[in-house]
């Protein structure tokens, strides 16, 4: 008995996938709100815009991805999207860490120009939810890859070419004229 096939085809990975999708969706909602707040108050840099675009794209796709694990015929088909989004979220995490880690949170070019030197808590919250979102997207990618590979192995096992091959002996009756006028039975 193949225990991997039983595990990856059951409820547990689908439940884990649904919970991971929910955490990714929640992270993207929180990031969209905080980053929109920054953009509204004229804190616009290329990194902030990139982070906002990635969070909104993830929000859009994961509104639909929330229901996919509940569908019985779903077998990890969002693997390419999860892989791409995990790399984009990693880049977003790197950008937010470059901008706001250490003492750089208080002294950004915008803060020096306008005299505003706060919102470090929100900036660190953006970093934290980037870490959470990336981590869960990475685990989603692994789980979906395992589900997809399990489905492929199962599909290859069920379509055995030996079972689809026709029988080698066929019996046919012909009514060709013979010397005695009867029918001949020929085995092919």
Beta bridge mates, 173: 185
Report the alpha-carbon distance of residue 136 to residue 23 in Å, rounded.
7
Give DSSP secondary structure letters for 86-142: HHHHHHHHHHHHHHHSGGGGT--HHHHHH-----HHHHHHHHHHHHHHHHHHHHHHH
Report the alpha-carbon distance of residue 32 to residue 129 in Å, rounded.
11
Q: What is the pLDDT of residue 1?
A: 44
Report the SS3 class of residue 43.
coil
Contact present, 148 and 76 (Cβ < 8 Å): yes
Q: What is the pLDDT of residue 79?
A: 81
pTM above 0.85, yes or no: no
**Residue among 128, 15, 47, 139 nearest 86 (CA):** 139
Total domains in the fold of the chain: 1
Measured CA angle at 57 (ends 151, 117), to 5 deg = 135
Q: What is the pLDDT of residue 185?
A: 58
Q: How far is CA 68 from CA 2, 7, 62, 120, in A?
A: 25, 18, 10, 37
pLDDT digits (tens, 9 = 90+) for 69-124: 777 767 677 888 889 999 999 999 999 988 888 776 766 665 556 555 567 888 88
What are the φ/ψ torsions at residue 2 (nearest 5 degrees)?
A: -90, 110
Range of the domain at 145: 3-187
Residues of the chain falling short of pLDDT 50 = 1-2, 4-5
Q: How far is CA 123 from CA 22, 100, 120, in A?
A: 23, 7, 5
Helix axes 11-40, 46-65, angle to 10 degrees: 150
């Amino acid at each position: 008995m193949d225990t991997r096939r039983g595990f990856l085809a059951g409820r547990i990975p689908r439940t884990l996938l649904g919970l991971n999708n929910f955490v990714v969706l929640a992270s993207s909602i929180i990031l969209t709100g905080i980053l929109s707040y920054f953009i509204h108050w004229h804190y616009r840099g290329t990194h902030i815009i990139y982070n906002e675009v990635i969070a909104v794209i993830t929000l859009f796709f994961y509104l639909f991805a929330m229901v996919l694990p509940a569908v019985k015929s779903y077998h990890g088909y969002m693997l390419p999207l999860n892989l791409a989004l995990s790399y984009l979220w990693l880049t977003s995490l790197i950008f937010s860490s470059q901008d706001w880690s250490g003492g750089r949170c208080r002294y950004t070019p915008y803060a020096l120009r306008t005299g505003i030197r706060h919102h470090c808590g929100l900036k660190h919250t953006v970093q934290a939810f980037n870490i959470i979102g990336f981590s869960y997207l990475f685990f989603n990618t692994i789980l979906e890859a395992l589900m997809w590979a399990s489905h492929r192995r199962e599909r290859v096992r069920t379509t055995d070419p030996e079972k689809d091959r026709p029988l080698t002996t066929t019996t046919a009756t012909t009514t060709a004229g013979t010397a005695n006028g009867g029918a001949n039975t020929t085995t092919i």
